[in-house]
Structure 1
Amino acid sequence: MTLAAPAALAQPITAEDFIAFDADQARIGQLLFYDKILSGNRNISCGTCHHHDMGGTDGLSLGIGEGGVGLGPDRVPGDGADAIRKRIPRNAPALWNLGHKDVRVMFHDGRLEPSDLYGNGFDSPAEEWLPQGLGSLLAAQALFPMTAQFEMAGNTGENEVIGAVHDRIDLGWPILAKRVRTIPEYGEMFVAAFDHIETPGQVTIVEIGNALAAFIGTEWANYDSPYDDFVRDGTPLPAAAERGRQLFFGTAGCAQCHNGPLFTDQAFHAVGLPAFGPGRTRQWDPIPRDVGRMGATDDLEDAYRFRTPSLRNVTLTAPYGHNGVYADLRDMVRHMADPLAARAEWTPEKARLPDVPWLQEIDFVIQTDTLEMARQAAFLDLRPVTLSEGDVDDIVAFLEALTGKTALQRPLGRPETVPSGLPVD
Structure 2
Amino acid sequence: MGLHRILLAFIVAALPATAQEVTFLPHDDARAAIGRLLFYDPILSGNRNISCGTCHHHDTFSADALSLGIGEGGAGIGAKRNAGQGDDAIRKRVPRHAPALWNVGAVEFTHFFHDGRVSRSDSYGNGWDSPAEEWLPPGLPNLLAVQAIFPLVAQFEMAGNPRENEVAGAVHDRMDYAWPILAKRVRTIPAYGAMFVDAFDDVYEAADVTIAHVGVALADFMNVEWRSLDAPWDAWVAGDADALTPAQDRGRSLFFGGAGCSTCHSGPLLTDHGFHAIGLPPFGPGRTRRFDPMPRDVGRMSETDDLNDAYRFRTPSLRNVALTAPYGHNGAYPTLEGIVRHHLDPAGSLASWTREDAALPDAPWLAAIDFVIQDDEREMARVAGKLDIAPVPLTDGDVADLVAFLHALTGGDSRYGRLGRPDRVPSGLPVDR
TM-score calculated relative to the size of structure 1: 0.97
Corresponding residue number in structure 1 for 2:327: 320
Corresponding residue number in structure 1 for 2:415: 408
Q: Counterparts of 1:36 and 1:333 in 2: how far apart (Å)?
A: 36
| Equivalent residues of 2:42, 2:48 under 8 A apart | yes
Match of 2:127 among 109, 121, 127: 121
| Equivalent residues of 1:120, 1:131 under 8 A apart | no
Corresponding residue number in structure 2 for 1:395: 402
1:355 aligned partner, one-letter code: D
| Equivalent residues of 1:63, 1:92 under 8 A apart | yes
Within a 5 Å distance, the mapping from 1:1-400 to structure 2 comes to 7-14=13-20, 17-236=23-242, 237-400=244-407
After superposition, give the CA deviation of every residue in 1:170-203 in whole Å (9 maximum; x if it has no partner): 0000000000000000000000000111100000
After superposition, give the CA deviation of every residue in 1:132-165 in whole Å (9 maximum; x if it has no partner): 2112111000111011100000011000001111
Q: CA deviation at 1:9?
A: 2.9
Q: CA deviation at 1:331?
A: 0.3
Q: Counterparts of 1:409 and 1:87 in 2: how far apart (Å)?
A: 28
Q: CA deviation at 1:232?
A: 1.4
Q: CA deviation at 1:11?
A: 2.3
Q: Counterparts of 2:22 and 2:89 in 1: how far apart (Å)?
A: 46
Equivalent position SS for 2:19: coil
Q: Counterparts of 2:289 and 2:123 in 1: how far apart (Å)?
A: 22
Q: CA deviation at 1:15?
A: 7.5
Q: Counterparts of 1:9 and 1:194 in 2: how far apart (Å)?
A: 41
Q: Counterparts of 2:290 and 2:390 in 1: how far apart (Å)?
A: 33
Q: Counterparts of 1:351 and 1:407 in 2: how far apart (Å)?
A: 29
Structure 1 residues 418, 280: closer, same or farther in 2, change over 3 A?
A: same
Alignment RMSD (CA, Å): 1.1
Equivalent position SS for 2:412: coil
Q: Counterparts of 1:79 and 1:144 in 2: how far apart (Å)?
A: 26
| Equivalent residues of 1:328, 1:350 under 8 A apart | no
Q: Counterparts of 2:95 and 2:136 in 1: how far apart (Å)?
A: 23
| Equivalent residues of 2:67, 2:331 under 8 A apart | yes
Equivalent position SS for 1:113: strand
What's the % identity of the aligned pairs?
Answer: 64
Q: Counterparts of 2:299 and 2:13 in 1: how far apart (Å)?
A: 32
Q: Counterparts of 1:324 and 1:138 in 2: how far apart (Å)?
A: 23
Q: Counterparts of 1:408 and 1:372 in 2: how far apart (Å)?
A: 39
Q: Counterparts of 1:376 and 1:410 in 2: how far apart (Å)?
A: 37
Q: Counterparts of 1:206 and 1:18 in 2: how far apart (Å)?
A: 20
| Equivalent residues of 1:133, 1:206 under 8 A apart | yes
Give the ranges of 4+ consecutive aligned residues of structure 1 lying more than 6 Å apart after TM superposition: none
Which is worse superposed, 194-203 or 7-16? 7-16
Q: CA deviation at 1:403?
A: 0.6
Q: CA deviation at 1:117?
A: 1.6
Q: CA deviation at 1:10?
A: 3.8
Q: CA deviation at 1:290?
A: 0.3
Q: Counterparts of 2:276 and 2:386 in 1: how far apart (Å)?
A: 9
| Equivalent residues of 2:320, 2:415 under 8 A apart | no
Q: Counterparts of 1:93 and 1:114 in 2: how far apart (Å)?
A: 20
Q: Counterparts of 2:364 and 2:13 in 1: how far apart (Å)?
A: 51
Q: Counterparts of 2:405 and 2:233 in 1: how far apart (Å)?
A: 8
1:229 aligned partner, one-letter code: A
Q: Counterparts of 1:232 and 1:17 in 2: how far apart (Å)?
A: 17
After superposition, give the CA deviation of every residue in 1:295-340 in whole Å (9 maximum; x if it has no partner): 1111111000000000011011111000000011100000000001
After superposition, give the CA deviation of every residue in 1:341-390 in whole Å (9 maximum; x if it has no partner): 11121101112111111111110000000011001100111110011111
Aligned length: 421
Q: CA deviation at 1:26?
A: 0.2
Q: Counterparts of 1:75 and 1:327 in 2: how far apart (Å)?
A: 16
Q: CA deviation at 1:243?
A: 0.3
| Equivalent residues of 1:6, 1:250 under 8 A apart | no
Q: Counterparts of 2:41 and 2:239 in 1: how far apart (Å)?
A: 41
TM-score calculated relative to the size of structure 2: 0.96
Q: Counterparts of 1:6 and 1:294 in 2: how far apart (Å)?
A: 37
Equivalent position SS for 2:87: helix
Corresponding residue number in structure 2 for 1:419: 426
| Equivalent residues of 2:22, 2:268 under 8 A apart | no
After superposition, give the CA deviation of every residue in 1:197-239 in whole Å (9 maximum; x if it has no partner): 1100000000000000000011001100001011113333110
| Equivalent residues of 1:11, 1:231 under 8 A apart | no
Q: Counterparts of 2:78 and 2:148 in 1: how far apart (Å)?
A: 20
| Equivalent residues of 2:288, 2:297 under 8 A apart | yes
Structure 1 residues 294, 26: closer, same or farther in 2, change over 3 A?
A: same
